[in-house]
Amino acid sequence: MTTLYSADDLRALLPHRHPFVMLDRLEVTEPGKSGIGYKNISIADPVFAGHFPQQAIYPGVLLIEAAGHTCGIVHTAAEAEGESRIGFLAGVRKFSFKKVVVPGDVVTIQVRKRTALGDLFEYECKLLVDGGIVAEGSVAVAMQA
């Protein structure tokens, strides 16, 4: 059963605040295993004031952060009620960027858990715009004790 999280739900779950809330919506398809995050790219985002002001390109590092947020919430969705912990980005492996992401794009972030070792979880991530892959790689999330 898919669980949907709105922007307000995500703000309640994430310790981040503006401008580092990287997701607009999220679907957990299998708690602790897989999900899909959505990031709307807007020219109003403050990052565009300084990141290639002559040609607005969304930074790859922020795409990785959005993937990390997606993985963290997918993972914590499997935890028992009242037991929710915060996940921290612990590693990024083999992330590659295929196309630039620009204002007007909606980035779909598909994540699936690959492996787990104690409180460290690695997720495979595919980021798509209009069905085409714009970036992919893996993200490790460490859960706070």
Cβ-contact 134, 128 below 8 angstroms? yes
Cβ-contact 72, 141 below 8 angstroms? yes
Within 8 A by CB and 6+ apart from 105, the residues are 41, 58, 129, 130
Residues acting as catalytic residues: 51
Question: Which amino acid is present at 103?
Answer: P
* β-pair type (87-97, 34-40): unpaired
Structure tokens at 56: 């607005």
Structure tokens at 78: 């499997």
Cα–Cα distance between 141 and 113 in angstroms, integer? Answer: 10
